Each structure stands twice: as structure tokens, then as C-alpha cells.
Structure 1
């Protein structure tokens, strides 16, 4: 009866424990992905293994986890208080409650290993432990959910980025093809023009030779007719005494053959046609290099400008200028005389080995009487050099640029419609920096030769002008 009661108690306890475990599992499943969260926390022990371990560590008398477990000689374990109560009142030999083995003396051994295992199982099945585990599961699940959302958002962003790249690439392909079609058209037109000119000159020379050829042929025919008359007259002298020459037809006097100098004819077309055509292309380039000049009315008193207004250099003294609102008074700056508010424009500036300078564009309405920081917020889009090798883009704060070489000539490209200001190394046309959010309204090319402060003679900033556009061939 006791054994049956013990067995029923153990079964009831097992069912209660399993029911509690199932309820916990169901609760966690309603919260989210139990398996994923559990795996993220720690390698979990399968529920069946937990149940089996708890059953092995359950006292057959009290049907609860061992309390101070002891082992009998038959290797069965019981709680020390339980086995003591079980044997209480028994006279003589005692028996094992499970296997009924008889023991003549009441001896048992404390099993410290089982004690440690029981404490571990009790700790891992406590309400606090389960609550902490559930909390960890929820937190880990939430962490995975948030990370998953971040990854999904990142996927969407990357897909949008890919679409943007594709659209931008397609638009740029159209633009590049249009630019090169324009160049091809210029070259095709120039080729057609030159071939037509060659054809006309060839026809003119051939026509001259043809006219002379026809004249010579006519003269030959006339001479042959006269020769025929003379031959007939000569043959008749055997029978008739010739008293006068026969009547001859006047023949055409032929001018000397026109001179044809093959060198003169071919030199024009044996010339460096590519270079000549390259020079001619400047009048058709859009944008072509703008022939800028400095505006003396904007020059700071410490800036000296050449007579042709293409060189600007700093000087120690102050140059007298008439007073006007356009002049820079605090900073060593100067503007170009040409301003732009529509279209695309490009110009080049030679800086040589100057140790410092500022170049770019400035809005028409910039403050010219105060000392301000150069930046888009102040109406300036610039590139600067300091200490001979420290290049920076004119943002606030400054954006340091790492250049492979020091450019001697700078190219500045202004696209008013796209609001873009770009800087190039004019020697190889490598892009140095580009402002994507450029100016609105009218702007002027901006220059600052700066005060170098060195003992060497200051070097000028030079506006570069390209081959004259009036070459037409």
C-alpha cells in the first residue's frame, strides 16, 4: 500500500510539474519565438531531460525533491528526515521503502553529489529563476525583433539606394551620350567642312588643268588642219608652179600651262589637323573656357592687378582705389568682372607654387566690408590651400582633402541649374571636391591671393585664356 501510495504521489507530482511546464511553454510561445530566444540566451536542456532528472532526484517517501539526501546500502536515496520517520517505531531490522531490502542496522550515507544536484535543480525550477528566465527570453526576443526590424529597414534602404543608383546612372548615361554626341557633331561638321573645302580646291585645280587641256587640244586640231593644207600644196608643186602660200586658218594661241604646286595644295591638309581642330572646337564647347578678367572695383587695396586684368598678386603696400560698395575692405579678395546666374560655366586659374590661396565663387550679395568665415552660409563656395600642402573645401568646419599631388592649375565648374560647384586639377581633370547644394541667384568667380608673409616675392594668381576662337580655317 505504501509503495502504491508513493507511486501515485510521484505520478501526481510529475503531472503537476509537467502541467506547470506546459503552461509556461504555452505562455512563452504566445510571447514569440521561444526556440530562437532560448537559443540566444543559453543552450537549453530538453524538457524531457529536465523531467527525468527531477524524477530521479525526487524522494519516494515525500514525493518532493530531496532534502539532505542520504543513500542506503541498496543505493536508493531518500531525504534524511523522511527515512528517519519511516524507520521510527520499527523494532529490529529495517527495510528500504523501495526495494524492501532488509538492513540489520540503521546506517546511511550523506550523498554530497546528489545534494549539489538537488540544489541546482531546485534553483533552476524556482519561481524567481523562471521569472528571470522568462524576462531574459522576452528581452532577447525583443532584441532580436528590433534587430530584425533594423535589418529589414536596412534592406529597404539598400533597395531604394539601388533604385536611386540605377536611375541616376541611366540619367548620367543619357547626359554623357548627349555631351559626346555634341562633340561628335562638332568633329563631324569640321570634317565635312574640311572635306568640302578639299573637294572645291581639287575641282578648281582640275578645272584649270581641264581648260588648258581643251585649249591645247583645239590648238592641235587647228595646227593639224593647216599642216594638211600645206601638205596638199606641197604635193601639187610637181605640176603647178607655186606662186604664194595657201590660205591658212589662224590658230589659237595657248597660254602657258597653269602652275600646280603639290606642296601648296597638300600642305593645308598635311598640317596637324587634330591640333587645329582642337583649337577651333573652343568656339563650340558648351561650356567653353570663360575668358575671365579681374574686376578692379572689387579688389582689396592690397591686391595689385595687371594691365590686362588677368594677373592678381598681393602686395605689402596699399594701392589707391576709388571708393565704392563693391570693394573688399577687410579681406584680401577680388572678384571677376563676369558674373553668372544661368547656364554652365568653366574657367581655369593658374596658382603655380603659391603657398596659400582661396578660389571659388561668391554670391553677388556677400558682405565685402567685414571679416567673415568663407562658407556656403556666408555666400562662398571655395577651395583653399594653406602651408603649401594643406587643401580644404570651404565648409564649416573645413573639410580636409587628401590630394595625391599639388595642382598647379585649378579648374572651376559652375552649373547654375543643378546648383553645383566643382573643383578640378586642370592638369589631369581629376575631381578635387564638389558642392552639391550650390548657390542661388547671381554669382561671381572669387579669388584670394592671400598674404603669404614670406620673404620671397609673392606669386600671382593668373586667369588662363585659351586659343582665340576666330580660327576658321
Structure 2
């Protein structure tokens, strides 16, 4: 790049007539290969009788002969155009615009680097918070479950390392991109400085700039969900003999049951029936929808319980605010005071949002686990057979809530299936 000015100067010298000391006009070539302007050589030979000579090399010619050189003429026109004021101004404007564009791109990359570093700090902080939570869950079982805790913390460390690695790789790529832009800026600045003593004919050669992808997003919920659920209970399903206590023991509140729901004597089984039960009128009872609540309520802390739904083709379950309207038909959604999971047509599972959020499950649910973290306003649903997370609400209740259930109205082709409240898992998990 540094040789460009001398090359340009040499080219102009080569295209300069030795007689008029200006760029060729109608360049012609003598037999000795020297070039001159047609008018200049014609004037030089004017009045000469007999042999003529070349003004440069003094070679003698018997006659006044020369040949038009169209290639040199074309080169002269290009040089003349490149030295015009308009061309120079346009080229200088391109130089300034390119320099500003690269400077702006560098600024964008530097801002992206700053965001990357902020995200790395967030990842580290989230990991620290999760680690503290994991240790808190395991504290009561530390002696017997030390190996399980160590395994889970190692998994968290690997996931943190993976997330940090994504951002670190992006950060390193950004550093390389910024260095390339800085190299181009230096080249353009040098070219810009050189225009003071020379005429710029073209932009200097720049290094191709790598197009950077957007910074990878960090999903805090996806990163955290394995470590914010009922960790002790998940571990108990692997080693439940060492765990105490178990899930919340719930019972149905008969006074809330819709008249078509029959409740067992121990208040742990509810089933829809064709015959309407005799009931006393009270403000607690559901009258329009086949719903029922548990007797227990929650307004602080963390709680977990399990429900057996069996082979029922449809049901709703979750939790409901104490203030829900029990005498009207209301769509089940957090806005109406319900946080639920539902089943329709035997295989269509959905979370109770508006509109419904369809869930893709690998197998049918037999037992559903419900987890409430009241303080963090999270409501989560699990497949109680393998403790896989089905869905989480992050806008949970603020006021007192009750476990909520609905066996729904059964079709004539299906025998009503009860909804059972489980005190203990029926079998131990192996492995």
C-alpha cells in the first residue's frame, strides 16, 4: 500500500509529453518508441527540410512519420479523469464514509463485547445463587446423599462452563473482528493522510471484515429449571427410603365439591357421577363447573403433592385462588386465579394459559406432581413417574391458594375415572 503514491507519480510521468511537459494530447509514437503529442511533434518538425530527429533520443528519421497510440490515449484519459476535482472529491467522500462506517461497526462490536461481559457476570451470579439453593436443599440429607449432591453440582458446573464457553467464544471472535476493523482503520487513515501530498485514484485494499452473529442469548429459566424444582423430592424418588418427610398429605374439601362429584370417606378420592348429590348451599361450593378444592391452603413457603389421574380421558388440576368465582363458568387461566394443567380427548395435554399452551409428552400421564414455590411465585407440574418437568408458570399466586381438581363431565362411552390424592409413591424407584 505504501508504494501506491510513487507508482501513481511514475505513471503520470510516463504519460507526460517531453515537449509540452503535460499529459499527452492525441499521443503518437515514433519509430524509436518515444511518445509525443501530435500537435507538439508536428510543431517541432515544422519547417524542417529533409531528415527529422526524435526530440528525446535524437534518432534520425528520413521522413515525418508517426503512429497514433490508442492504448496510451486511453490511459491518459483515465489519468486525466482521475485527477479531476469532481473525481477527487467523490473519492475523498468515499474514504470518509468508509472510515465512518468501520468506526461505527467497531463501536457496535465494542458494545457487544460489553454485553457479553455483562452476560458472563449474570451467568456466574445465577450459578452462585443456584449452588446455594442446591446446598440448602441437600443440607438435611447431606450425610446420606453426599454423592448425589456432588453429582448435581458437577452437572451445574458443566452447564455453567458450557454457557460461559458460548459467550467466551463469541467474545474472542468479537476481539478478532475488532482487531481487523482497527487494521482497516489504520490503512484508511494512512491513505487519508497521504491525500495531502498526492491525488487519490482509488481506495486502498482493505482486509475483509468477518460478519459477526448476534450474541448468543442466555435463557436463565432454561439454565435454572433443573435446580429450582423440588430437589429433595426428585432425589427421594431415587432414594426415597432415606428421605423424610414426604409430599404434602392433602384431603378433599367436600363443602367445595360440585353436586355431581362424589368424595370417598377418607376424602382422598373424587369421581364424577350421574346422580346429583344432596348438598347444602354455601359460598364455597362450585355450582357451574365440576370442580373441587383441597381442604389445605397455602400462602407462603414451598409445597409439593401428587395426584393419580389414571386412564381418564380428560381432567383439570393445579391450584386456584381463594377468591375465584365458584358460581360461574370461568376460563382457567392465571388472570382468572387458576394455574392448571389439563387433558382432553385422552392425549391432548395443555397448560392453562390463554390461549392454551399445547404440551408434547412422550407418554401418557398416570400421576402428576404439582410444585408451588409461593415466595418466588412459581407453579410447576411434573410427570410424577420420572419427575420430568411438564410446565412452569412464573407468574404464580400472590394470595392464598388451594389445590384444585376437576374430573370433568364424563362421556357416555367412558366410565368415570377417579382422581386420587397420593400420600406416598406406590413403588420404589430403582437405580
With the length of structure 1 as denominator, give the TM-score of the two structures.
Answer: 0.58
Matched, 1:355 2:347: no
What residue is the counterpart of 2:78 in the other structure? 119
Q: Distance in 1 between matches of 2:355 and 2:6?
A: 65
> What residue is the counterpart of 2:101 in the other structure?
140
Q: CA deviation at 1:444?
A: 0.8
Residue 182 of structure 1 and its aligned partner are, at CA, apart by: 8.3
8 Å CA contact 1:301, 1:318 repeated in 2: yes
2:133 maps to which residue?
A: 172
Paired residues of 1:69 and 1:115 also in contact (CA < 8 A): no
Measure, in 2, the Cα distance between the counterparts of 1:295 and 1:120: 96
* CA–CA distance in structure 2, aligned partners of residues 56 and 339 of structure 1: 97
Matched, 1:456 2:414: yes
Could you say which residue in structure 2 is the equivalent of 1:163? 124
TM superposition shift of 1:442: 0.9
Question: Are positions 1:327 and 2:288 aligned together?
Answer: no
Secondary structure in 1 matching 2:298: coil
| Pairs within 5 Å for 1:47-446 | 47-60=5-18, 66=24, 69-79=27-37, 83=40, 86-87=43-44, 89-92=46-49, 95-103=53-61, 104-112=63-71, 115=74, 118-119=77-78, 122-123=81-82, 126-181=87-142, 284-285=244-245, 288-315=246-273, 321-446=279-404
Name the SS of the counterpart of 1:156 in structure 2: helix
1:467 and 1:426 map into 2 onto residues whose CA distance is 9
Please report how far the alpha carbon of residue 427 of structure 1 lies from its aligned counterpart in structure 2 after TM superposition: 1.1
1:5 alignment counterpart: none
Q: Unmatched 5+ residue regions in structure 2?
A: 147-238, 427-431
How many Å separate the matches in 2 of 1:130 and 1:404? Answer: 64
Q: Distance in 1 between matches of 2:410 and 2:27?
A: 92
The answer to whether the Cα contact below 8 Å between 2:341 and 2:350 also exists between their aligned partners in 1 is yes
In 2, are the aligned partners of 1:350 and 1:408 still within 8 Å (CA)?
yes
| CA offsets 1:204-234 (integer angstroms, 9 cap, x no match) | xxxxxxxxxxxxxxxxxxxxxxxxxxxxxxx
Deviations 1:308-337 (A, max 9, x none): 332333456765544333333444432212
Secondary structure (helix, strand or coil) at the match of 2:106 reads helix
Q: How far 1:447 sits from its partner (Å)?
A: 1.9
Using the alignment, how far apart are the partners of 2:322 and 2:143 within structure 1? 32
Evaluate the alpha carbon distance shift between residue 49 and residue 335 of structure 1 in structure 2; reply closer, same or farther with a 3 A threshold. farther
State the shift of 1:171 in Å.
1.0
Q: Flag the structure with larger Rg.
A: 1
How far apart are the structure 1 equivalents of 2:359 and 2:115?
A: 30
Higher RCO (Cα < 8 Å, 6 or more apart)? 2
Deviations 1:26-54 (A, max 9, x none): xxxxxxxxxxxxxxxxx999444444444
Contact 2:26 2:73 in 1 (8 A): no
Contact 2:253 2:294 in 1 (8 A): yes
Aligned partners of 1:304, 1:62: CA distance in 2, in Å? 116
Q: Are the equivalent residues in 2 in contact too, given 1:94–1:106 (CA < 8 A)?
A: no
Give the length in aligned residue pairs. 330
Return closer, same or farther for 1:306/1:144 CA change in 2, 3 Å cut-off.
Answer: same
Q: Structure 1 residues 300 and 330 mapped into 2: Cα distance closer, same or farther (>3 Å)?
A: same
The CA deviation at 1:339 is 0.7
SS of equivalent residue, structure 1 residue 462: strand
SS at match of 1:391: strand
Q: Cα deviations across residues 9-30 of structure 1 (Å, max 9, x unaligned)?
A: xxxxxxxxxxxxxxxxxxxxxx
1:300 and 1:334 in contact (8 A); partners too = yes
Aligned-partner Cα distance in 2 for 1:68–1:355? 96
Q: What is the aligned-residue RMSD (CA, Å)?
A: 3.8
Query: CA contact under 8 A between 2:272 and 2:408: conserved in structure 1?
Result: yes
Deviations 1:215-255 (A, max 9, x none): xxxxxxxxxxxxxxxxxxxxxxxxxxxxxxxxxxxxxxxxx
* C-alpha distance in 2 between matches for 1:69 and 1:301: 110
Q: Deviations over 1:52-81 (max 9, x none)?
A: 44444445556555555444433334455x
